[in-house]
Amino acid sequence: MTEADTTPGSQSALRQANERRVVDVLRRDGTRTQAELARATGLSAASVSNIVRGLRAAGTVVVRDTSSNGRRARAVSLLRPPGTVVAVDFTADHIRVALGDSAGTMTSHESVGYDVAADASRAVRRAAWLAETLLIAARIDLGTVSSVVASIPGPLDPDTGEVGEISALPRWSGFRPAQALSERLALPVRAENDANLAVLAERERGVAQGAEHVIHLLLSEGVGAGVVVAGNLFRGAGGTAGEVGHIGLDSRGQVCRCGNRGCLETFVGSSYLLNMLPRHTDLARGSDPVRLSDLVDAALNGDPGCRRIIDEAGTALGQGAAIMANLFNPDRVVVGGELARAGEFLLGPMRRAMELGTLGSALSRLDLLPSALGDQAMLYGALRMAARSAG
Ligand SMILES: [Zn+2]
């Protein structure tokens, strides 16, 4: 892709593009004088001088006096190798951003509570601001970022990059998050489904290391799955593989947002679980809206009603996971997301339901495990994906 394709035509975008040309030369050729940089980039000496001053202020380059052909010159070197990667994780109520090095190892991260579900464009602007703030704090110039990957809690059309109709962010339907964030940051951005990134992360450094066939169930507003078959992410033809939330469990159950009845999501989705809260409990009577994290905390603290709700969710999840296990014969099933914090209160009934519903031969090689990376899994996965695409 050329510079003109990735940057809008504003002055600051032009400056960023020119900065990147200078950094690219330094990356390729090592230390260069300003005169050599001007020749290599085709920029004027005055422009190079300006750009170098900005890069020096941002901590991207160091400048020292030297001589070239007997004349005084200014030698410019990169202070750190470029190749910073950025991960952005959108959930319905949070934006998380992380920076990583060229190997995808996290170097810093930040999280803000934000009503992401309300407005896609505003959430993207907020995420871009958060990424720029982190980069400034780390003294890394935006122009040296090689790749950005954004985690989206919903299916993405592989051709258009549009968020699907049925996701945790209904108002994002038809929105193109990668394109919007790319226009905002003037950087290449790729968007990926959150459960897909979580399964990549668990295989790299979590509980699915060494596993070739993995199903990662991610529980939040709904339930999604990242599916790895024979070591490769399985997205399906239209990017909706792993939408396990709409496995039908009860033809007389509640009507789901997808239009069917009794989908798995109506047994484990956060809004359904919160609706089941007994009205008389302290939790339901409080003035603040009750969130899934409150329900999990109450269960961990011994609230019998909350434990019952999570127990039944575990059973339904086990029934859905058994169907997946019979279809894919995975060696690991990993459970992540907020609800997974309930630990054995969720996994115990889930394991029992899986034992009942899974073929013996599939069950004998299967481990059911809680996520090792928790709510950081999507950031880890996004950083690794960004590092790979940059390399
Ligand atoms: Zn459904």
Q: Exposed e or buried b for every residue in 78-97, given b needs 16+ CB within 10 A?
A: bbbebbbbbbbbbbbbebbb
The alpha carbon of 164 and the centre of ligand 1 are apart by a number of angstroms equal to 13
The alpha carbon of 376 and the centre of ligand 1 are apart by a number of angstroms equal to 27
The alpha carbon of 256 and the centre of ligand 1 are apart by a number of angstroms equal to 5
**What pLDDT sits at residue 138?**
87
The alpha carbon of 216 and the centre of ligand 1 are apart by a number of angstroms equal to 19
The alpha carbon of 12 and the centre of ligand 1 are apart by a number of angstroms equal to 45
Task: Read off the pLDDT of each residue in 65-91 and give the average, rounded to a whole number.
Answer: 84
- Bigger pLDDT: 11 or 338? 338
**What pLDDT sits at residue 7?**
45
* pLDDT tens string 122-164: 999 999 999 999 998 888 888 789 999 999 999 999 899 999 9
Length of the chain: 391
* Beta strand 332-337 pairing with 367-370: parallel
What CATH architecture applies to the domain 3-78?
Orthogonal Bundle (1.10)
Using the predicted structure, report yes or no on whether residue 47 has a pLDDT greater than 60: yes
Find, among 121, 183, 178, the residue nearest to 152 by Cα.
178
Using the predicted structure, report yes or no on whether residue 46 has a pLDDT greater than 50: yes
**What pLDDT sits at residue 391?**
56
The alpha carbon of 248 and the centre of ligand 1 are apart by a number of angstroms equal to 7
**What pLDDT sits at residue 4?**
42
* pLDDT tens string 221-270: 889 999 999 999 999 888 888 889 999 999 999 999 889 999 999 999 99
Task: Read off the pLDDT of each residue in 184-207 and give the average, rounded to a whole number.
Answer: 95
Per-residue pLDDT band for 2 (boundaries 50, 70, 90) equals very low
**What pLDDT sits at residue 286?**
67
pLDDT, averaged across the chain: 90
Domain boundaries, the chain: 3-78, 84-197, 208-371
Q: Identical fold at 84-197 and 208-371? A: yes
The alpha carbon of 264 and the centre of ligand 1 are apart by a number of angstroms equal to 7
* Beta strand 232-233 pairing with 61-68: unpaired
Phi, psi of 200 (to 5 degrees): -60, -45
Give one DSSP letter per residue of 234-277, joined into a string: ---TTS-TT-GGG-B--TTSPBPTTS-BSBTHHHHSHHHHHHTS
Q: Is 286 helix (H, G, I), strand (E, B) or coil?
A: coil
What CATH architecture applies to the domain 84-197?
2-Layer Sandwich (3.30)
**What pLDDT sits at residue 233?**
94
Looking at the chain, the whole-number percentage of residues with pLDDT higher than 70 is 94
Tokens, residue 160 = 């258009």
**What pLDDT sits at residue 166?**
82
The alpha carbon of 170 and the centre of ligand 1 are apart by a number of angstroms equal to 13
The alpha carbon of 52 and the centre of ligand 1 are apart by a number of angstroms equal to 55
The alpha carbon of 247 and the centre of ligand 1 are apart by a number of angstroms equal to 7
Number of Cβ within 10 Å of residue 210's Cβ equals: 7
- Bigger pLDDT: 25 or 373? 373
The topology under which CATH files domain 208-371 is Nucleotidyltransferase; domain 5 (3.30.420)
